[in-house]
Chain A
Amino acid sequence: MDANVTPVPVTPTLKADVRDLDFYYGSFHALKKVTMPVYERKATALIGPSGCGKSTLLRCFNRMHDLYPGNRYEGGGIVLHPDNTNLLAHGVDPIEVRMRISMVFQKPNPFPKSIFENVAYSLRVRGLRNKSELDDRVEAALKGAALWKEVSGRLSELGANLSGGQQQRLCIARALASDPELILFDEPTSALDPIATASIEELITELKEKVTILIVTHNMQQAARISDYTAYMYLGEMIEFGITDQLFIKPQKKQTEDYITGRFG
């Protein structure tokens, strides 16, 4: 068993840490004093039954909650390293946060634009206009998302013409194009068939060599397959955080054990 485990460095570098974070949707207390680390160039999975707050926590990282009125962050916040910026601090612009931290959504949501423009979008909003640089970086991103071979000949076609799995990889390429420090995945395979799911999982495993990944998944096998660390949440609380293999083999908490053995949830 041990032979298959990827060796985890003794002291992994911290990329971000959540400190005593509280979050409210209006009066609903959705996250309660959540604390967890996110390690550099590792994949961290958030698991838990639906409604446990895992997606809510993920969307705090790029301040998606700012888009809707009535949402409120409280407590310690999320500190991004190495520059020690609290992402949730009032002085920090959510746009800056989102430029540093990209996101891939549950359902593929390509823009009604060409494949090329979909990927170039995150570069264009950064003011990049140089055609050859755009070409290079779009190609690099599509290669990074393992989509280049399939679409290199038809970059001007609509993104919506691709299959579901290809669309999701297009969205990953879009997220990769701007060289983010952290990519958030919100149940990225829940709308895909098993074959497309496998290819996305493989891609995420490759990506974590280059970029830090935080992924919400409802699928425990998926968390076990692709993540280095796993956090189990329940009713807005962080129940347990640990190295994935240890958490799945020997959970510390009774609640975690109940959930992963399928006795509940």
Chain B
Amino acid sequence: MSNTLSLSEPSVADLSVSDRLRKKASRHMKERVIESLLFLAAAMSVLTTIGIIYILVKESYVFFQMVPLSDFLFDTQWTPLFDDAHYGIMVLLSGTITSSVVALLVALPLGTIIAIYLSEFAGFKTREIAKPFLELLGGVPTIVYGYFALTFVAPLLQKIYPDLPGFSLLSAGLVMGIMIIPYVSSLSEDAMRAVPMSLREGSYAMGATRLQTALRVVMPAATSGIASAYILGISRAVGETMILAVAAGMQPNLTFNPLESGATITSYIVQVALGDLPHGSIGYQTIFAAGLTLLLITLAFNLLGFWLRKKYREVY
């Protein structure tokens, strides 16, 4: 490198003024070029977002020219591939909501309990073993969870409740809940452990027990982080695809009963993509309209999370 200082090179003082200036200018150029390249890399993420919005809006625009928005929002049937086509997103939304509620009923309480336990009760060793384990649990591919829900959990549930169909929002939702636990517990635990020890000491010094300290001091102090964890859990549940595509059946079904089978926004997209829909057909356009709906939902939760973080920003 010409511009690093080394003993064999003439030292700065030996160079003539014009040499030094030239050197400085070239060094400056190089720095600017590198900075610009790095900036472009960072800007790629913004381009990705723009790309997502552009594609979804562009294709959805074509869709909504053929299907009125009111039909999309209020129709109670979803049969885009039939001759008598209906495009009621409610049907898919009901599947998404039902499976997400089941999943969150598992993941939020268990994730929170695990987070409190690991952060406030467990010893160093337990934590060192449990945390990587939970991480592994979160790293299992969702297709594998889907297979597990279909071939193991569903038959197991049928033993308890024989009328349960082989494909159900319940079995998919339960497994999805287990899958989401690590996301909730890990972020919540990080937030709780970031609460300074002085607050805990203050609580213990008043004669509080561990549980009282955890619930009354540590959790309120970590509200914003725990809220982020919950929001992430919700986003995961709403956006989860493969578990539902495999284990919940792909029959569009306007229901909020987890004991039935149903399609979700995500599993519908998979179903269409598996078939041979020609590019530009109305069926092809529906998946973008569905995708846009999904993006808007997750965006709404992201904004909610952003607002919650602002409102409950940690004030230690």
Listed in ascending order, the chain A residues whose CB lies under 8 Å from chain B are 62, 64, 67, 69, 95-96, 98-99, 102-103, 105, 107, 109-113, 121-122, 124-126, 158, 160, 171, 174-175, 178
A126 to chain B, nearest CB (A): 7
Knowing A111-B220, A112-B315 touch, does A175 contact B204 (C-beta < 8 A)? Answer: no
- Also in contact, A124 and B216, with CB within 8 A (given A67-B201, A105-B201): yes
B33 at the interface (CB under 8 A from A): no
Q: Are B206 and A121 in contact (CB under 8 A)?
A: yes
Most buried by B among A121, A171, A174: A121
CB pair A98 B207 closer than 8 Å: yes
Cβ-defined contact, A125 with B206, below 8 A: yes
Given contacts A105-B202, A112-B221, 4 further A-B contacts (CB under 8 A): A98-B207, A111-B217, A125-B203, A175-B205
Q: State the Cβ distance, A193 to closest chain B Cβ, in Å.
A: 20
Q: Answer whether residue B198 sits at the interface, using C-beta atoms and an 8 A cutoff.
A: yes
Which of the listed residues A95, A102, A160, A175 has the most CB atoms from chain B within 10 Å of its own CB?
Answer: A95
Residues of B within 8 A of A95 (CB): 207-209
A122 pairs with B198, CB closer than 8 A: no
Q: How far is the CA of A125 from the CA of B211 in the complex (A)?
A: 10
Interface size on B, residues (CB 8 A): 23
Contacts of A174 in B (CB 8 A): 202, 206
Given A107-B198, A160-B315, A113 contacting B205 (CB threshold 8 A): no
Task: Select from chain A the residue with minimum beta-carbon distance to B316.
Answer: A112
25 contacts between A and B (CB under 8 A): A62-B205, A67-B200, A67-B201, A67-B204, A95-B208, A95-B209, A98-B204, A98-B205, A102-B205, A105-B202, A105-B205, A107-B198, A109-B199, A109-B201, A110-B202, A111-B199, A111-B202, A111-B203, A111-B221, A112-B199, A112-B217, A112-B221, A125-B212, A175-B205, A178-B206
- The answer to whether A113 and B220 have CB atoms under 8 Å apart is yes
Q: Please, how many angstroms separate the alpha-carbon atoms of A112 and B200 in the complex? A: 11
Bound CA–CA A262/B212 (angstroms):
45
Complex contact B207–A103 (CB within 8 A): no
From A110, which residue of chain B is reached at the shortest CB distance?
B202
Contacts of B124 in A (CB 8 A): 69
Quick one: given A105-B202, A109-B202, are A125 and B221 in contact (CB under 8 Å)?
no
**A107: nearest residue on chain B (CB-CB)?**
B198
Q: For the complex, give the distance between the alpha carbons of A124 and B212 in Å.
A: 10
What's the Cα separation between A103 and B204 when bound, in Å? Answer: 10
Does chain A have a CB within 8 A of B280?
A: no
* Residue ID in chain A nearest B217 by CB atoms: A111
Cβ of B216: which chain A residues have Cβ within 8 Å of it?
A: 111, 121, 124-125
Q: Which residues of A contact B201 (CB under 8 A)?
A: 64, 67, 105, 109
Cβ-closest chain A residue relative to B202: A109
- Looking across the interface, which residue of chain A has its beta carbon closest to that of B207? A99
Q: How far is it, in angstroms, between the C-alpha of A171 and the C-alpha of B206 when the chains are bound?
A: 10
Chain B 276-316, CB within 8 Å of chain A: the 1/0 string?
00000000000000000000000000000000000000111
Q: Report the minimum CB–CB distance from A150 to chain B (whole Å).
A: 20
Taking the closest CB of chain A, its distance from the CB of B309, in whole angstroms, is 15
B139 interface contact, C-beta 8 A: no
Does B123 count as interface, using CB distance less than 8 angstroms?
yes
